[in-house]
Structure 1
Amino acid sequence: MQDLLAKYGKVAPLLSQEQDAFTGLSTRKRSFDAGTNLVCGELDDPDQLYIVEKGRLFASTELANGERAITRLYFAGDIVGTANIPFEHATQTITVNASAELYIFPRKNLIDTFTNMPRVAAIFYTFAAMENAILNDRLVSIGRTRGKARLASLILEIEARRNLLLDPARERIDLGLTQAEIGDAIGLTEVQVSRLFRQFIEDGIVERRHGQTKILDRGRLSKIGQFTDRYDDLDLDWFEDA
């Protein structure tokens, strides 16, 4: 739970009772292997939510042509499944893509927490809105930019997510996705993703070694990706008097 408290504490310092409210959402923790589907689109009841203690997950939607679109990425400290909260059936498949430890709780547990602690509800809403903004940025990128811009933007998005909890000075990034999964996230084929990585490497923009990525020329990568760091763009003034 410490990663969740650290992440949410970046919006506003959490009071002790607010920390207790977050940690009290769940008392059950389970481990899941990579490749496990927690919910499978409309097949599953979306009642369960998950807090990521360790590992990586993503949300995806199967398209009519049999392809897959990865829509959200989940890291340690994230609450998974919030997009499914209002619906009778899950709208997305949630997949574990790196072995994970997850706290599990029913969505109804949010009701008392939000009723008794409006600041917790506001912090929760802030991160949900930010996730939607990131998804919107990626959709615009897919619809309006070339492949190089899409890949550049995704690399920077993952780095920004990592830097919420880890030391930004750590140079190498574990993208946590295969090249096929990266393609599913930005609307490209695995072959196209591989070719773009080679171009970035040849141009001295990134370095790839042992499955990890190092950004060598952040200015060029940011310019190519037309990237906005939504985590750095937060306006938190409205929390000051809360």
Structure 2
Amino acid sequence: MPDGRRQIVKIHHPGDIIGFPDVALKHATTTLRTVEDVCLCPFPKSSLDEILRESPRLSALLVSIALRDHVVLIDVLRAMGRMSAQERISYMLLDLLARLRITNHKMTDAFRLPMTQSQIADYLGLTNVYISKTFIRLEREGFIQRDHDQIRVLREDEMIELTDFHDRYAEMDTSWFPQV
């Protein structure tokens, strides 16, 4: 933000297509900062022409990812606008777990969360102190277990019910993709 404040609008995972929404625009609308070392594969916008012409299934996948991400954004806006701090953090943890399960089918209920409380606060629109108190409450009430940057979701079904979370990643429908 121009005044130095930070707003985190998306958390990326390995395999994500970063900056895809900006393809339709002349300039990028966000900046990217990483919390760990990453390996990026630059992909020029000009390459899309050939991909879209030559690979109808990949084109359908790109459209599906963009549309799914739009639905997820609506879900996140709903969560951030109407939920308590406990519900927001629960929702974020469920979303991260669902995203990680896309590429790791052995993923159970535990994952690494390398973000600081300050970064989580900037993502959820809360204060650092509120993040800390709410994580402690979630632990005390038996919803999660924490060990440094390791999170274990203990009462996933109850958290899903509490937040009305929908795993949009598992719901992706590819039945309409062109057959090659």
TM over 0.5: yes
User: How many residues are paired up?
Assistant: 180
What value does the CA root-mean-square deviation take over the aligned residues?
1.7
CA contact (8 A) 1:207 1:216 kept: yes
What is the rounded CA distance, in whole Å, between the counterparts of 1:77 and 1:122 in structure 2? 17
Corresponding residue for 1:201?
139
Corresponding residue for 2:12?
74
What is the rounded CA distance, in whole Å, between the counterparts of 2:23 and 2:178 in structure 1? 29
Corresponding residue for 1:226?
164
What is the rounded CA distance, in whole Å, between the counterparts of 1:138 and 1:201 in structure 2? 23
| Structure 2: gaps (5+ residues) | none
Select 2:115's aligned residue among 166, 170, 177. 177
- Percent of matched pairs sharing the same residue: 28
User: Which is strand-richer, 1 or 2?
Assistant: 1
What is the rounded CA distance, in whole Å, between the counterparts of 2:178 and 2:26 in structure 1? 36
1:110-189 → structure 2 map (5 Å cutoff): 110-189=48-127
CA contact (8 A) 2:85 2:126 kept: yes
| Structure 1: gaps (5+ residues) | 1-61
Q: What is the Cα deviation at residue 167 of structure 1?
A: 3.4
With structure 1 as the length reference, what TM-score do the two structures score?
Answer: 0.69
| Change over 3 Å in CA distance of 1:222–1:168 after alignment to 2 | farther
What is the rounded CA distance, in whole Å, between the counterparts of 1:237 and 1:109 in structure 2? 26
| Change over 3 Å in CA distance of 1:240–1:116 after alignment to 2 | closer
CA contact (8 A) 2:22 2:29 kept: yes
Deviations, residues 177-226 of structure 1 (Å, cap 9, x unaligned): 21111111111111111111000000011000131100111122112222
With structure 2 as the length reference, what TM-score do the two structures score?
Answer: 0.92
Q: Which has the higher contact order (CA 8 A, sep 6+)?
A: 2
User: Which is helix-richer, 1 or 2?
Assistant: 2
Deviating above 4 A after TM superposition, structure 1's stretches of 4 or more consecutive aligned residues are none
What is the rounded CA distance, in whole Å, between the counterparts of 1:170 and 1:146 in structure 2? 26
